[in-house]
Structure 1
Amino acid sequence: MKKFILLTAVLTMLASCGSKDRGELVGVQGKKWHPEKPYGMELIPGGSFIMGKADDDLAGVHDAPAKTVTVRAIYMDATEITNSEYRQFVNWVRDSIVRMKLAVLADEVAKVPEDGGIGEYAFKDADTANMSVYEKYMFENYTGLGPTGYEGRKINHDIDLIFDTSEYPDEYYAEVMDTMYLPLEESYNGQRTWDVKKFKFQYNYMDIQEAAKNRSITRKEAIKKEEIEIYPDTTVWIRDFAYSYNEPMHNDYFWHDAYGDYPVVGVTWKQAKAFCEWRTINKNSYQKSKKGSAMVNTFRLPSEAEWEYAARGGLQAATYPWGGPYAKSDRGCFMANFKPVRGDYAADQALYTVEAKSYEPNDYNLYNMAGNVSEWVDASYDPNSYEYISTINPSVNDKNNKRKVVRGGSWKDVAYFLQVSSRDYEYADSARSFIGFRTVQDYMGTKVTK
């Protein structure tokens, strides 16, 4: 018994000597957090403001009465998401689908990297010799449990895809690539084009709102799966304007480099949400590749209150992001891209959209919070929502309400819709030639609250 007590005392002393907390309650010490401003974003300090109409707008005051609310600090894109940025998303989805198809066919014909050709695009686990203990465990216990049997298997991103038909490595590669293009009978001018309906992005998310309100559902039931066609609808340039010639915009606006820095349009609310999910995945994939790097907070669409707070740029009761009450400066220059005169779209020196970093930014260094393109926000439109929303981080997003709020006005709108308090809506599955979006990310902490 004495030996046992002595041993226990020795172990206790050794544990105390080896501990850095000296037996005190110091909390779990994680890695020091260094907030990093995401590329292309601006920090919007949290604070309170008067949301809604501040003047005697008898029509608008019914769905936007003045109300003091407070929002948390966020990062927001300095510009609307551009064609070039959205093309990065489209190319990522396209390339991922191609790589998956190549890996599946390589698996079916039993080709491995050593065989060359399509074998170079085989799943990463085709050679189990280089797998870590964890990867091998996951492969042996979870592979094949999904509907296709390929869920959880890693595709190979280390080798470049080949798009030049004269350089295809073998007939298997050609077979896969052929499935990604429109059939020959649908081609013209000797050029085959991508079948963009196959550019589908799949992602999972947890419906936190439903999980919090309905305690009876399981975690598995709260996880939702989405599959979205992500290619913009370029036909909006024709469908939005009857008896109007806009074919050049339909043909060139999204893909031509001349429009790379212009805001993307023709995207639905659901596609904008999918872009946010991809941006989070893309950034976290990079973070994972850097050992020890913390995962980033999610990118998302702004709430209606966040958007208006950011658009005001710290100015209380202002009509426009630059103050107002006029849409012209004291030198007679237009402050935004909109339709200033009936039928005259070019009076502000812009016929359609302009580059995303045009005109003067507001005091939060955000460009085109009024005009150019209207912007999707993460809110369902209810004309009475201001009457019942919370005064802290107000948000109304009813999944059964398909009318989603758009803010800021666009190149084809009159000045009224450019006002920071003006509200409008479109249906979630609608795409327009005058609606784009920008994203936000929550700021970690509260020290930048005003």
Structure 2
Amino acid sequence: MKKLLMLVAIVAFLASCGKGDRGQLVGVKGKKWHPEKPYGMTLVPGGAFIMGKADDDIAATLNAPAKTVTVTSFYMDETEITNTEYRQFTEWVRDSTLRMRLAIMADDNGLTPGSGGTGEFAFKDAAANPSVWQQYVLDNYVGLGETGYEGRYLNWDEELIWDTEDIPDEYYAEAYDSMYIPYEEAYNGVRTIDVNKLIYRYSVQDIEKAARNPGLKRKDFISQKEVKVYPDTTVWIRDFNYSYNEPMHNDYYYHAAYDDYPVVGVNWTQAKAFCQWRTNYNNRDRRQRKNLEDVPAYRLPTEAEWEYAARGGLESATYPWGGPYAKNDRGCFMANFKPLRGDYAADQALYTVEAESYEPNDYNLYNMSGNVAEWVNSSYEPGAYEYMSTMNPVVNDESNMRKGVRGGSWKDVSYFLEVGTRDYEYQDSARSYIGFRTVQSYVGTDVTLNASTN
């Protein structure tokens, strides 16, 4: 037995000598990684700044005392997430849901690829020869909820059919029909997608909980989330009593005229789900191209990151453009808000404006003040500035439903546009004046605002 163990050890040692390292410590190289600026984002170089109110606390909230903090570098969306960008998310969930229903329909009726019609949307493993690993475990249905068909490939190659004139057979018709509201709920004979069926499911890993409770197993800090992803268009009615806003309810998210306007009616939980989907969507493409590292997760910014980015490198400024005035030297308003005691049109906009409107700040970020307020990934704690860290500060209590909202909106007075002003909304509440933008941590060679002075 000893001879056998010695032989195994010798073989293992010899096998390790054929890697060309000549017995030297050369390290294990990872996959290819080149810092890549995500589409539509700008790099915000890390640095220190004075966070909090630069001027008198007019509202006497006493919730943002000045404090020097430091944040690391990150990418941030140059604009708020727009209707057309968010629709890419909702339509991906819609298409995934229909593909799953078609695949199940084909499976239940013995249809396979090559048989035509619905059979062309059958699970791909019905035609291809899956590898041993593919047969063992597949992470294929992130976002679709419990299906009972986990471990089987959806067919993404076939183009979905949405024109009823082209539906190939009764099986496709049944799956297609199940996506729409019942006939009795149709308006003027027009049936629309049942948005309650557009549900995105994803996993959340609570790293802080894991770090502070080393005795826990992985399953104890990983949870599943299910989120209805469609924006609540009724916010245009519910947010304002005795006000005629039906045109915005009817058209704002649907109509192409509003494609480049910021999405609203999205609560904090939906914004978090969008970030998770965007990460998965980006990484799925990178994995298909092979040998590429996954990108850092897209996420909501912390309060500190948001304020640092909003200031655009200007120290102790009242607004992203400096201050202390909301007009420029030509008398034009610098943002979309509620000026002049309620003259909404004075800034050339009654509601929202296109996301790339007005002048960007010095980090090339548009509408960090005004247009729509923005969710941040921080709980609202009035006294947070007193005890939060000075390095990448964040206070996020899972039990606190009040989440930070920054920047002010088209319906707010100028006080809420100040970069130091803090506000909040409940995480399950959607509003016609709250949207969001995402960030992604920068990894690689350090980039700081004061690098040139070192």
Quote the Cα distance in structure 2 between the aligned partners of 1:326 and 1:198: 47
Aligned pair count reads: 436
Please report how far the alpha carbon of residue 12 of structure 1 lies from its aligned counterpart in structure 2 after TM superposition. 8.2
- For residue 175 of structure 1, give the secondary structure of its aligned residue in structure 2: helix
- For residue 115 of structure 1, give the secondary structure of its aligned residue in structure 2: coil
String of CA shifts for 1:162-220, please: whole Å, max 9, x gaps: 11111111101111111111110111222111111111111112111211122232101
- For residue 441 of structure 1, give the secondary structure of its aligned residue in structure 2: strand
Gaps of 5+ in 2: 1-5, 139-144, 450-454
Alpha-carbon contact 1:60-1:422 (below 8 Å) kept = no
Q: Which residue of 2 aligns with 1:376?
A: 375
From the superposition, tell whether residues 428 and 12 of structure 1 become closer, same or farther in structure 2 (CA, over 3 Å). Answer: closer
Q: Are 2:179 and 1:180 aligned? A: yes
Quote the Cα distance in structure 2 between the aligned partners of 1:388 and 1:105: 56
Q: Are 2:197 and 1:198 aligned? A: yes
Q: Which residue of 1 aligns with 2:273?
A: 274
Q: Which residue of 1 aligns with 2:69?
A: 69
Q: Which residue of 2 aligns with 1:142?
A: none
Q: Which residue of 1 aligns with 2:89?
A: 89
Counterpart residue type for residue 54 of structure 1: A
Alpha-carbon contact 1:238-1:250 (below 8 Å) kept = yes
From the superposition, tell whether residues 130 and 12 of structure 1 become closer, same or farther in structure 2 (CA, over 3 Å). Answer: closer
Q: How does 1:18-57 map to 2 (within 5 A)?
A: 18-57=18-57
Which runs of at least 4 in structure 1 moved beyond 6 Å after TM superposition?
Answer: 8-15
Quote the Cα distance in structure 1 between the aligned partners of 2:280 and 2:302: 21
Alpha-carbon contact 2:33-2:292 (below 8 Å) kept = no
Percent identity between the two aligned chains: 67
From the superposition, tell whether residues 399 and 217 of structure 1 become closer, same or farther in structure 2 (CA, over 3 Å). Answer: same
- For residue 215 of structure 1, give the secondary structure of its aligned residue in structure 2: coil
String of CA shifts for 1:357-411, please: whole Å, max 9, x gaps: 0000000000000000000000110101111101110001111000011000000
Alpha-carbon contact 1:124-1:155 (below 8 Å) kept = yes
TM-score, length-scaled by structure 1? 0.93
**Bigger Cα displacement from structure 2, 104-113 vs 402-411:** 104-113
CA RMSD of aligned residues (A): 2.0
**Bigger Cα displacement from structure 2, 393-402 vs 183-192:** 183-192
Counterpart residue type for residue 37 of structure 2: K
- For residue 62 of structure 1, give the secondary structure of its aligned residue in structure 2: coil
Gaps of 5+ in 1: 140-145
Q: How does 1:206-221 map to 2 (within 5 A)?
A: 206-221=205-220
Please report how far the alpha carbon of residue 285 of structure 1 lies from its aligned counterpart in structure 2 after TM superposition. 1.1
Counterpart residue type for residue 53 of structure 1: K
Quote the Cα distance in structure 1 between the aligned partners of 2:15 and 2:67: 62
Q: Which residue of 2 aligns with 1:112?
A: 112
Q: Are 2:129 and 1:130 aligned? A: yes
Alpha-carbon contact 2:404-2:423 (below 8 Å) kept = yes
Alpha-carbon contact 2:31-2:292 (below 8 Å) kept = no
String of CA shifts for 1:237-272, please: whole Å, max 9, x gaps: 111110011111000000100000000000000000
Please report how far the alpha carbon of residue 55 of structure 1 lies from its aligned counterpart in structure 2 after TM superposition. 1.8
Q: Which residue of 2 aligns with 1:170?
A: 169
From the superposition, tell whether residues 119 and 416 of structure 1 become closer, same or farther in structure 2 (CA, over 3 Å). Answer: same
Counterpart residue type for residue 234 of structure 1: T
Please report how far the alpha carbon of residue 20 of structure 1 lies from its aligned counterpart in structure 2 after TM superposition. 3.4
Alpha-carbon contact 2:272-2:299 (below 8 Å) kept = yes
Quote the Cα distance in structure 1 between the aligned partners of 2:10 and 2:396: 60
Alpha-carbon contact 2:297-2:441 (below 8 Å) kept = yes
From the superposition, tell whether residues 31 and 197 of structure 1 become closer, same or farther in structure 2 (CA, over 3 Å). Answer: closer
String of CA shifts for 1:308-349, please: whole Å, max 9, x gaps: 000000011000000001000011111000011222100000
Q: Which residue of 2 aligns with 1:346?
A: 345
Q: Are 2:288 and 1:285 aligned? A: no
String of CA shifts for 1:93-152, please: whole Å, max 9, x gaps: 00001111111111111111122111111111123x52223223437xxxxxx9643123
**Bigger Cα displacement from structure 2, 190-199 vs 404-413:** 190-199
- For residue 76 of structure 2, give the secondary structure of its aligned residue in structure 1: strand
TM-score, length-scaled by structure 2? 0.92
Counterpart residue type for residue 363 of structure 2: Y
Quote the Cα distance in structure 1 between the aligned partners of 2:14 and 2:86: 60
From the superposition, tell whether residues 304 and 14 of structure 1 become closer, same or farther in structure 2 (CA, over 3 Å). Answer: closer
From the superposition, tell whether residues 341 and 156 of structure 1 become closer, same or farther in structure 2 (CA, over 3 Å). Answer: same
- For residue 137 of structure 2, give the secondary structure of its aligned residue in structure 1: helix
Q: Which residue of 2 aligns with 1:421?
A: 420
Quote the Cα distance in structure 2 between the aligned partners of 1:267 and 1:294: 31
